[in-house]
Chains A and B, each alone.
Chain A
Amino acid sequence: MEKTAFELKECDVAWCPGCGNFGILNLMKEILAELSADPQKLVFVSGIGQAAKIPQYMKVHYFNGLHGRALPPATAIKATNRELTVIAESGDGDMYGEGGNHFLHAIRRNPDITNIVHNNMVYGLTKGQASPTSEKGFKTPIQVNGVILEPFNPLAIAIALDASFVARVFVGFRDHAKQILKKAILHKGYALVDVFQPCVTFNKMNTYQWFREHTYLLDDSHDPKDRTQAFGKATEAGKWPLGIFYQYEGKPVFEEQLSVYAQDPQPLFQRKFRKEPVEQLIRKLKE
């Protein structure tokens, strides 16, 4: 399949030149083509923010909902039609800040969706305020003396909740990122990929150069099946590890445990209404 399969003919992109989002957009189109994803069965769900605009720039089904609220509809879409491939993609503010509660509970449910989070450690669309992942001391027009809050650690939290796939990549390490994102999409169960991606306009601290210097790739000595080791990597001081931190293959998937599919594997929209069970319940009330 050609990368152009997911290319829009006309597209007025709202990102700044040099934005890390472009790299992710290109990667996604390539990955989907290489995986021969069926465009009819592929749904992107996003919230609000610069990253959340990504589905607008691809030829895909999308549900571009509310700020912070990508994961509940993504879970419901997958549960309503299990034949769809669902990718929930948004930024760090959207997924970890406004949508923090949904992030926790989506992990607990373990739907078979891929959660890609563009993490640039700053708010772009609202012009440069701190994000949940901003480092301490990061100065903004609001955090005038620098951020004093502990940065949100999405990977450690996901591992603590026994998420079934937890990874981090840097968009600047293209081949590595591509390989991990592919694995995440193919993984059965909830898969989190935190993507380091520089904001060239509002974050002068965490630049392309900075990410290159402050990250390293996990090697074979790391066992992604080992949750304790994974947690150690997620909370490591110093350079940030990149790669698959943790993977729990075979973890029971949310939508496969629902009683609505026990007898009938069909998506909900293909089912015919049956009045008999309703009538039967009404009859019971006559007894």
Chain B
Amino acid sequence: MSFERTFRDDISIVLAGEAGQGVQTIEQILTRLFKQAGLNVFGTKEYMSRVRGGTNSTEIRVASFPIAAFVNRVDIFVPLDAKAMDHLKPRLTDKTLTVGDRENLKTEKEILNAPFSKMAAGIGGELFSNMIAAGFLAGILHIELAIVYEVIQYFFGKKSADIIEKNCTAAKQGLEFGREACAKHRIHCELKRDPEVVGQIMISGHEAVALGAAAGGCNFIASYPMSPSTGVLTFLAQHGAELGILVEQAEDEIAAMNMGLGSWYAGGRAMVTTSGGGFALMGEGLSLAGAIESPMVIHLAQRPGPATGLPTRTEQGDLELALYAGHGEFPRVLLAPGTVQDAFLCASRAFYLADKYQIPVFILTDQYVLDSFYNAEEFPSVSGEVTYFVVQTGSDYKRYRFTENGISPRGIPGFGEGIVCIDSDEHDEGGYITEDSDVRTAMVNKRLKKQNLLPEDAMAPEFFGKEGYKKLVLGWGSTFHAIREALRRKGEGDTAFLYFKQVYPLSGKVAEYMRQAKEVVCAENNATGQFAKLIRRETGLSVDRKVLKYDGLPFSVEDLVAKL
């Protein structure tokens, strides 16, 4: 068998090993290394709900052009143990170049043997085998040793000189071994570098949500840890002091939601981050937000259910949950970012909308979009202004004063002369409990009136394609990049794509877009086509075909090339 390969402008590298074996460390080093070399990078991982053992894998795509979607194809596979070989088996083909330590892998298959462990022993122990592997891949991709050293300095700068030196030695040996392998086996890499990439930001979905929230003026987050939503809480906890954000780990999601509402009441700008099961516990508090007309921002990171489901995997299965959660009738907004830029913008906008309309606003993400990261060509700038809608109260202040558009000026205790009374019971304008039918009807109308204002302030879906299209693909949230790349690959000029980053309420001419197509296809990461149902509810139009995936994994570009 020959190891001769020519990698042109888009390489998919997959690393796989047990939890705790260091897949993540290699991933961090490599992705930084590639970006610093001027290569476009995309990383996504799939992992098991366990701290040790099992098999986790990371896909790193490196390309001459921007990439941001998961591909099924594996060009270079680096298994760290024998189990990893089996785990990835369905995705490996004759074209895959498998590189690894034959001794550890115990395989009969033809692999490019790289004795990482033996080399590591010479440096100071098994610990260094990951750095040798990273160096090896840098060698295959012709990356200069100087960049490798720079990255080692970045990661290990605070460690002892001995550790830095040993890591440099490990990387150097790996890199040289990689270069030799290239020469010996005629492995060519034709990736083009782009110096602009070096200065771009590399950001994950959860970082983008957290930073977006901060840019929206978030100053309070109470939450209970739950995959895959915890990254946002962790990020804000790490940077809470500098950002001026009060971070509290609540005893449960019920408390988290009610704390958030308490904070808004007292003049804070609060959010919660959670996943399906945790959000289910927040249903009551969500309804309270509806009743007391409190702003609230909910980051709902979806994962496959029902119940505990697949805790570390991905799905777009909670659209209907977010849409219908909470007893009673009250307005809400659902945003669903599909890019890191939109994750930032949606999180920031959620605070604006929540405060302006005094309603709960959702940011619907999922494990895939949160855990994936890439270099972003353009990233939104932080607005210097945050619009605050809190008013100073007068002595005759009434929290629920009837107004033409249904929005009553929102006062807070301790700011002005008024008394601010809010009640989960039906209440009169002053916030006092009432069972008067006329007041009840007027209050329901007042709350629902706000729903009518929301479409005007909604983010319209983005259209990609040319006039005269025959096929229209609908997608929302995290499927964005995979759909885009799949359609680009198919190269069908008569197919257009409508991407929704706001899924409720809808704005723009969705029905018009749909009517112009002969076939409307809706692609979603769930089993029942929840967005297609929502589209029908809102426009009266059915989609012709649904492309669904609900095995806990994201759509690959190949999946969509085949099915769209």
CA distance A39 to B251 in the complex (A): 31
CA distance A246 to B385 in the complex (A): 49
Given A62-B422, A102-B255, A286-B199, A79:B241 Cβ within 8 A:
no
CA distance A13 to B250 in the complex (A): 35
B residues 405-446 near A (Cβ < 8 Å) are 412-417, 419-425, 431-433
CA distance A66 to B202 in the complex (A): 43
Q: Which of B103-111, B117-125, B261-269 contacts A (4 or more CB under 8 A)?
A: B261-269
Q: Which of A68-76, A126-134, A140-148, A227-235 contacts B (4 or more CB under 8 A)?
A: A68-76
Q: Which of B75-83, B165-173, B211-219 contacts A (4 or more CB under 8 A)?
A: B211-219
Q: Which residues of A contact B255 (CB under 8 A)?
A: 69, 71-72, 101-102, 105
- Measured CB to CB, the nearest residue on chain A to B385 is A273
A77 at the interface (CB under 8 A from B): yes
Given A40-B417, A66-B284, A285-B203, A259:B241 Cβ within 8 A:
yes
B131 at the interface (CB under 8 A from A): no
A262 at the interface (CB under 8 A from B): yes
Contact in complex: A66, B285 (CB < 8 Å): yes
Choice from B240, B243, B417 contacting A278 with Cβ under 8 Å:
B243
Count contacts on A: residues with CB < 8 A to the other chain.
58
Interface string of B375-397 (1 = CB under 8 A from A): 00001011111100010000000
Choice from B241, B267, B414, B425 contacting A40 with Cβ under 8 Å:
B414
- Measured CB to CB, the nearest residue on chain B to A103 is B251
- Closest Cβ of chain B to A252, distance in Å, is 15
B181 at the interface (CB under 8 A from A): no
B residues 243-261 near A (Cβ < 8 Å) are 243-246, 248, 250-252, 254-256, 258-261
Contact in complex: B254, A260 (CB < 8 Å): no
- Measured CB to CB, the nearest residue on chain A to B204 is A285
- Measured CB to CB, the nearest residue on chain A to B399 is A61
CA distance A271 to B382 in the complex (A): 18
Q: Which residues of A contact B535 (CB under 8 A)?
A: none
Contact in complex: A267, B211 (CB < 8 Å): no
A residues 54-73 near B (Cβ < 8 Å) are 55-56, 59-66, 69, 71-73
Contact in complex: A65, B413 (CB < 8 Å): no
Q: Which residues of A contact B500 (CB under 8 A)?
A: none
Q: Which residues of A contact B288 (CB under 8 A)?
A: 65-66, 69
- Closest Cβ of chain B to A131, distance in Å, is 20
- Closest Cβ of chain A to B392, distance in Å, is 11
A264 at the interface (CB under 8 A from B): yes
CA distance A105 to B258 in the complex (A): 14
Given A64-B424, A258-B246, A268-B268, A282:B201 Cβ within 8 A:
yes
Interface string of A71-102 (1 = CB under 8 A from B): 11111111111011000000000000000011
Given A48-B424, A72-B259, A75-B259, A271:B413 Cβ within 8 A:
no
A43 at the interface (CB under 8 A from B): yes
Interface string of B20-52 (1 = CB under 8 A from A): 000000000000000000000000000000000
A212 at the interface (CB under 8 A from B): no
Given A40-B417, A102-B251, A275-B383, A65:B258 Cβ within 8 A:
yes
Q: Which residues of A contact B220 (CB under 8 A)?
A: 76, 79-80, 268
- Closest Cβ of chain A to B409, distance in Å, is 15
CA distance A66 to B239 in the complex (A): 32
Contact in complex: A267, B414 (CB < 8 Å): yes
- Measured CB to CB, the nearest residue on chain B to A55 is B421
Interface string of A259-287 (1 = CB under 8 A from B): 11010100111110111011111100111
- Closest Cβ of chain A to B247, distance in Å, is 8
Contact in complex: A275, B241 (CB < 8 Å): no
Q: Which residues of A contact B10 (CB under 8 A)?
A: none
Q: Which residues of A contact B260 (CB under 8 A)?
A: 76
B101 at the interface (CB under 8 A from A): no
- Measured CB to CB, the nearest residue on chain B to A280 is B242
Contact in complex: B246, A69 (CB < 8 Å): no
A29 at the interface (CB under 8 A from B): no
- Measured CB to CB, the nearest residue on chain A to B288 is A66
Contact in complex: A84, B413 (CB < 8 Å): yes
Q: Which residues of B contact A76 (CB under 8 A)?
A: 220, 222, 248, 258-263, 266, 268, 270
Contact in complex: B382, A282 (CB < 8 Å): yes
- Measured CB to CB, the nearest residue on chain B to A38 is B414
Contact in complex: B252, A101 (CB < 8 Å): yes
Choice from A101, A264, A273, A275 contacting B251 with Cβ under 8 Å:
A101
Q: Which residues of B contact A79 (CB under 8 A)?
A: 220, 246, 248, 263
B154 at the interface (CB under 8 A from A): yes
A253 at the interface (CB under 8 A from B): no
Contact in complex: A105, B222 (CB < 8 Å): no
Contact in complex: B262, A285 (CB < 8 Å): no
Given A40-B413, A105-B255, A278:B262 Cβ within 8 A:
no
CA distance A144 to B232 in the complex (A): 50
Contact in complex: A80, B424 (CB < 8 Å): no
Contact in complex: A277, B262 (CB < 8 Å): no
CA distance A81 to B413 in the complex (A): 9
CA distance A206 to B421 in the complex (A): 33
CA distance A277 to B382 in the complex (A): 10
Q: Which residues of A contact B154 (CB under 8 A)?
A: 287
Contact in complex: B424, A73 (CB < 8 Å): no
- Closest Cβ of chain A to B382, distance in Å, is 4
Choice from A66, A264, A277 contacting B258 with Cβ under 8 Å:
A66
Contact in complex: B419, A61 (CB < 8 Å): yes
Q: Which residues of A contact B219 (CB under 8 A)?
A: 260, 268, 271
A104 at the interface (CB under 8 A from B): yes
Contact in complex: B413, A43 (CB < 8 Å): yes
- Measured CB to CB, the nearest residue on chain A to B238 is A281
A53 at the interface (CB under 8 A from B): yes
Interface string of A104-146 (1 = CB under 8 A from B): 1100000000000000000000000000000000000000000
CA distance A208 to B244 in the complex (A): 51
Contact in complex: B211, A281 (CB < 8 Å): yes
- Closest Cβ of chain A to B34, distance in Å, is 14
- Closest Cβ of chain B to A275, distance in Å, is 4
Choice from B285, B379, B423 contacting A64 with Cβ under 8 Å:
B423
- Closest Cβ of chain B to A117, distance in Å, is 18
B207 at the interface (CB under 8 A from A): yes
B542 at the interface (CB under 8 A from A): no
Contact in complex: B268, A80 (CB < 8 Å): yes
- Measured CB to CB, the nearest residue on chain A to B201 is A285
Interface string of B134-160 (1 = CB under 8 A from A): 000000000000000000001000000
Choice from B241, B256, B386, B433 contacting A260 with Cβ under 8 Å:
B241
B230 at the interface (CB under 8 A from A): no
B200 at the interface (CB under 8 A from A): yes
4 new A-B contacts at CB < 8 Å, known A75-B259, A267-B414, A281-B242: A43-B266, A69-B285, A81-B414, A260-B240
Residues of B within 8 A of A (CB): 154, 199-203, 207, 211, 214-215, 217, 219-220, 222, 239-246, 248, 250-252, 254-256, 258-263, 265-270, 284-285, 288, 292, 379, 381-386, 390, 412-417, 419-425, 431-433
Q: Which 7 pairs from chain A and chain B are nearest by CB? A: A269-B267, A73-B262, A76-B262, A105-B251, A80-B266, A72-B258, A61-B413
* Subset of 25 A-B contacts with CB under 8 Å: A40-B414, A41-B414, A42-B413, A59-B419, A60-B419, A61-B413, A62-B423, A66-B285, A72-B255, A72-B258, A73-B259, A76-B248, A80-B220, A81-B266, A83-B414, A262-B241, A264-B244, A267-B267, A268-B266, A269-B267, A275-B383, A277-B214, A279-B382, A282-B201, A282-B379
